[in-house]
Every structure is written in structure tokens, then in C-alpha cells.
Amino acid sequence: MIRKQRRSLSLLTASILAALTVPAWAAEPFVVRDIRVEGLQRVEPGTVFGYLPVRVGETFDDTKGSEAIKTLYNTGFFKDVQIRSENGVLVVVVEERPAISQLDFVGIKEFDKDTLRRSLRAVGVAEARSYDRSMIERAEQELKRQYVARGYYAAEVQSTVTPIERNRVSVVFNVDEGSVAKIREINFIGNKVFKESTLRDEMQLATPNWLSWYTKNDLYSKQKLTADLEALRSFYLNRGYLEFAIESTQVSITPDKKDIALTINIKEGEQYKVSDINFSGELLGKQEEMEKLLKLKKGDVFSSEKLTETTKAITDLLGTYGYAFTTINPQPQINQETREVALTLVVDPGRRVYVRRINVVGNNKTRDEVVRREMRQFESSWFDGEKLKLSQDRINRTGYFTDTNITTEDVPGAPDQVDVNVNVTERPTGQLTLGLGFSSTDKLVLQAGIKQENVFGSGTSLGLDINTGKAFRTLSVNHHDPYFTIDGISRTTDLYYRTSRPLYYAGNGDQDYKVVSAGGGVKFGVPFSELDTVFFGIGYENTKLDVTNNTPQAYRDFVRDFGRQTHNFPFTIGWARDGRDSALVPTKGRYQQANLEVGVPGGDLQYYRGSYQHQYYYPLSKAFTLAFNGEIAYGRGYAGKAFPVFKNYFAGGIGSVRGYDTASLGPKEANGDPIGGASKLIANVEFIFPLPGSGVDRTLRLFTFFDAGNVYGEKENYNLSELRYSTGLGLSWLSPIGPLKLSVGFPLRRKPDDRTQRFQFQIGTAF
């Protein structure tokens, strides 16, 4: 075995010794009749010929001999090179360096071996490459650097090189990781205004605590320290300390390399207030609009964050007029005596820019037109940053993409033009189900269906659904075209045959009540603004009720008044306003919808049922979102007829009030079976945050929730004292088969006749 050792000869020494071996011909040049290479095993002869400074028929002398030896050594392929002549034949004798046949690691726990192999390749050490002792030493240092970056300052690395057949070697890195060094102290010198605890809260690095096993923030990192120093600087600048400076930082480690102490020496200076704010430069007649965007006012404590928000708002404003490259240069004038600062915002709008071309990238399946019809920035028009933002939101709201990124790039030779690149990341929009499924309410379910939300990339959806659940059975076909007309009128067509047994939710398994509905309808959506759409629809329903003497009285009363079979022509009108940044995983914005369904004369049923829903998403940060949802619904019969019992609203379970059994809240029959109600009131609050270890992945998130709600009978008024409450936590996942939600709920106000269900799941809805 070959242990760690110094190179026996440096490149210069090897070249000199090799040159001394050149025979007497070196002093006497000769014409080369042929060239022969000896000693090659893996290197191709052509490689050697390519490096030689002489060809057949040329004169070879001692200068070219020295150059040839030096050049061949520098390739790194050979550890010995000799040149001699035999009757005009130039003979090149080489001894190749061994090749690395195997690269392995022993004692590695902190890193994945493949990750380390990739990092060593960057320093020239990899399988199939030539063995070089100096490269191995560099690899050892690289491994130590990787460990130091993660706080393993005591890590030791030693390599073992073993020769094997066919001039190859096996390289094994033996690693003693040792224990990770933790930050035991973070001290500040020079702070008078703020306590050390306040400053530590602004830092990512921290001393060990109960969450350190996950955050790793107690492990020193130069990159983290640099970021923390910037965070401290921003903290002071946002509070008016313009003279703040970090004078020095000291990082000390104990002799056993297990503990680290950080000492940060700062100068706070004095707090400054804003004495005045003025504009200069090319204001383009927009000064009055710019002044309305000021986040800082005269007399306010200076804030770097508010100044940045101001410059961004002005940049966005001028961007709507085609000035895509606006720069705002704040120039402060500091008065140390009065501790005030006067700000002058120098505006340079640059040139007005036009959009030459819009390029759609990443849509392997979706047609360009599906993306382009959502664009509100047009080619050959002024660049408008606000329209680009609106375009991005509209593309995200289609639901066909997990992410949309819009960038601009200059057009070479055209300083007043830019190209807009729309880069989308497609998500699977097709769903094929065949086989057995499981539902928290229906237990074992046979499902078969096919649904494609983006048929052939056209932006239309087509679905066929079959469900054999015991509570609900469905056979339906639906088609939705969001651009039925070129100006954005949508059309939705559906045909269905449904069987429902609402009492099955009660858990008694009764088969004595069943609603069978068959029908269809068509609905059109007319956009009235970028966010607002009004819907109109008409349909036909044929409904049959099967009842027995065991069926709750409300259902038997309906059959007595209307008969077992009814015909209904429901007319619907609705409104929706969607201002969310995404239809699948919203993080900000509002969604509102109102719907009214009326059983028109000509059918057997005369009723109306209206509902209103309002969702609001507030981003607390890039990773955390606070979401609110409220729903209110109300239904009554008219023309002297009762409200149809099978049009009742239900509440309870995921999608309404979690923690209670599905559809179990509200009015009940004498035997305790829930029958729903003609009106409903629901409220939900969710705090959404990323799954630990997933970064800011929006497709997989955790949430905590607080729910409230109930349903009320036709002759009841809304009664807040009858609301049910629950809290809990859950997981939402944008799975390949649709949005999936799992929740564990805990009822907070449970009445004796309430049924609870802790674990629930649902595929489809946002709340």
C-alpha cells in the first residue's frame, strides 16, 4: 500500500533528469524518418503525437526534445518520459500514471457519498482520471473545507491509495468527523440603545435551543454570519441610525474545537429624523403621483426599509408608462447637529421601452395561445410592469402551471425595445382513476373516471366520473371551455345521474331514503373586468325520492306534497371576483363569489337559494400565509311551496367545520339523523406554513386552523349561539390526483347529540 508521502520529484526536477537521459544525438540534429511511442496502456498514440513539436520529415534537435518532454509531463498522463533515436526513428518511451479505478469514503455520516464525489471532481479527483498525489492532497483539503462549513472543525481526513492490476489504484478517504462545534456565546460590544437579546433575535445564528436539531442555527457558518451582519445593519438603518457601523467581528474556537464564541463590535451612532424630501431629475410631470407614494414623511424617523419601498413604488409607477429601466438614486444630506437628514430622490426614467416579442417557454403540452390569451402586456406596445404582474397572476389562476416567471431582456441593437420571456412550469392536469379507493365517509369505494383539465393543451377541460360510494353515487360528464368566444366568454356543459343517501352519514347504514337525480345544464361566464365574471345558466333536473315508513318525516312530507318524482328547471345567476395570485396554492389576494339558484315556473318546484363566499389570503412572509374564509347561504320556497328538502345545505367535516362528522351539524330528526338546513353560516381561519425541510415549497404545506359554523332549518333564523367551533392542524398537498387535504380536528363546543370525527381528508377544495 502507498501511504501519504511527498512527490519524489517536482515537475522541474523530473524534466531536468529526463533531459539528461537524452543520448548523444541531442547535440546533433537529425531528420525524423518515423516516430514510435512505447509504454502506452490507456492513452491513445494520437494524444502523444498531438503534443510532440516535430513531425516526420522535420529536423529534431535538443530544443524540441526539451519542449516535447516538458509538454508531455504537463498533460498529467505520465510520470516518466524518455526520448531517444534509433537510425532516424524518434522513439518516445512513456510510463503512464495509474488510473483511479475506485473512489470510496469510510466514516462518512454527515454527507452523501455521491455529493462528495461531485465536489472532488471539481478539484480533479474522480474515477477513471489519472492518479496524482498532489490532487489527492487537494481533495483532502476540500473534504475538510466541506466539514468546516458545517461546523465540524475537528474533522480529520486521511487517504489510502492501494495499487491494483493494470496500472490502477483504489483511493479510500478515511474520515474521522469528530463532533460538531456549536456556538456557545454571541456577545456584542458597543450597543447602548438595544439589548443584546434584541440584537440576537435579528440573527440567524444562535446558541443551542430546543429547535437547534432542526434549524442547525447553532452551527457557525461564514455565509450565515455575513447575512446576520447585514440583518443587523438593516435593523439599525430602519430605526434611523444612519451612522451605524460594524467595526469588527471575532470568531474564537476552544482548543478542543467543540465550542465557538462570536463577538461583534458595533457603533450605533445617533438616531436621525427626516427633515425634508424632495424630487429632482426627469419627473415626466408625475411628481404629484410620486408624492402620494412616499412612505416617509417630514418628521418621521428615517427608515431604510420605507425608503426602499418608496423607490420601488415610484419605479413601478413609471414602469406603467413604458419606462422599464427607471433608477431612483436617494441622496441624503445629513445634519449631525440637529440629527436630521434631508432626502433628495433623483429620478432617471431612462428610455421609454416597447415590447418587441413575447416568448412562451416551458409549455411542452400547453399551446402558446392558452398562455398568450391571459397576457395583458401586448407586443409592439409600451412596456407596462403592472400589466406584466396582472398577466402572471392570470396565468397562475388557470391552474395549468405550478409556477410562472416573467422576465425581460434587451434586444441587441435596439435600445428602446425588450423581449418578454414567459417561463411556465406545467403540472399534470390529467387524472385517470380505475380501481378501489378509500374515503373517510364512504369507506371502500369503486371509482373509475378520466378527467383532463387541459385537453390536448387547448385549455379546455373534459371529464367522465363514476363513483360507487354508499352515500353518493355519480355518473357525470362535463366539459368546460374558458374561451368559448374569443373575448373570453366561458361555457360549461354537464350531464349527470346521481344517487345520494344523506342518512348514511349518520352511520346507521339505513337504505330507506334515497334521492335519484338525472339532468344536465349549460352555464356561461361573461368577464366584466380583469377580475370579475358574471355567470348565467339554465338546466333540467328529474328527481325521484324513495321513502318508507322509517324515513324521517321531512322527506315523507315532501313526497306527500310534491309526489315521488319532480321536474325542475333551475336558473342560475352568479358573480365571481378572483384576485388571488394562484388558483391552486394562493398566498395572497381575495376570492369572492355569489350565486343565486331559482326554480323557475314551469317546473314542479318554486324555490330560491343564494350563497356568498369570501376568501382572503394575507402573506405574513414568503413562507407563511394567513387565510380567511367566510360563507353564508340562505334558501326558501316561494309561491306557497316549501323549500325542497334535497336542496338543503349540510355542514360538518373537512370543507366546513372540521372535527365534526361529515354533514352531521344542524337540524336533526327525532332519531338523531341530520337532515341539513335551508341556510348555512361558515367561517374558517388557517395559518399556513411550509413542511420542515421543504423550504418554501408551495405544493406541500402544513396548516393550523380554527373553524366555526352550523346550518339552520327553513323556519329558523341565524343564531350565533348555536355555532360549533373546532381547531386542529393538517397537511395540504398538490398531489398528482388533485389538491389533497388531511386534517386532525378537535371540537371546542360539542353538544350531546353532536357526532365527531378527528381525522378527515378531502381532495379538491381550498378550504
pLDDT tens, residue by residue, 472-516: 677 889 899 999 998 889 999 999 998 876 555 444 444 556 788
pLDDT tens, residue by residue, 650-699: 999 888 999 998 888 988 877 777 888 999 999 999 999 887 766 566 77
Instruction: Report the domain count for the chain.
Output: 6
Residue 460 belongs to some domain of the structure: no
Task: Look at strands 461-468 and 472-481 and give their pairing.
Answer: antiparallel
721 & 623 share domain: yes
Residue 107 belongs to some domain of the structure: yes
- Residue (of 148, 161, 35) closest to 98 by Cα position: 161
In the chain, pLDDT over 90 holds for what percent of residues?
A: 38
Residue 57 belongs to some domain of the structure: yes
Q: How far apart are CA 635 and CA 715, in angstroms?
A: 10
Least confident of 348-362, 439-453, 529-543: 439-453
Residue 5 belongs to some domain of the structure: no
The residue written with cell numbers 382513476 in the block is 433
What is the distance in angstroms between the CA of the first residue and the CA of the last residue of the chain? 66
586 & 673 share domain: yes
The residue written with cell numbers 407614494 in the block is 293
Of the candidates 176, 209, 228, which is a domain's last residue? 176
Residue 752 belongs to some domain of the structure: yes
628 & 744 share domain: yes
Q: Which amino acid is at 55?
A: R
Q: How far apart are CA 542 and CA 14, in angstroms?
A: 97
Residue 432 belongs to some domain of the structure: no
660 & 727 share domain: yes
Q: How far apart are CA 693 and CA 347, in angstroms?
A: 43
577 & 695 share domain: yes
Q: How far apart are CA 439 and CA 445, in angstroms?
A: 7
Question: Binning pLDDT at 50, 70 and 90, where does residue 15 land?
Answer: very low
681 & 598 share domain: yes
Average pLDDT over every residue of 423-445: 59
pLDDT of residue 306: 94
Residue 370 · residue 398 · CB < 8 Å: yes
Average pLDDT over every residue of 193-204: 92
In the chain, pLDDT over 70 holds for what percent of residues?
A: 89
Angle of CA points 7, 8, 14, to nearest 5°: 105
282: Cβ contacts below 8 Å, ≥ 6 apart:
347, 348, 349
pLDDT of residue 557: 84
CATH number, domain at 285? 3.10.20.310
User: In this structure, how many other beta carbons lie within 10 angstroms of the beta carbon of residue 98?
Assistant: 21
Residue 439 belongs to some domain of the structure: no
246 & 381 share domain: no
Residue 393 belongs to some domain of the structure: yes
pLDDT of residue 736: 66
586 & 692 share domain: yes
Long-range contacts of 169-172 (CB under 8 A, 24+ apart): 169/2, 169/98, 169/99, 169/100, 169/101, 169/131, 170/100, 170/101, 170/102, 170/104, 171/100, 171/102, 171/103, 171/104, 171/125, 171/131, 171/136, 172/104, 172/105, 172/106
Of the candidates 46, 78, 96, which is a domain's last residue? 96
544 & 608 share domain: yes
Identify the domain containing residue 315 by its residue range: 273-348
CATH number, domain at 746? 2.40.160.50
600 & 648 share domain: yes
111 & 24 share domain: no
Q: Is the pLDDT of residue 18 over 80?
A: no
pLDDT tens, residue by residue, 33-57: 888 888 887 778 888 888 888 888 8
Of the candidates 371, 395, 426, which is a domain's last residue? 426
344 & 233 share domain: no
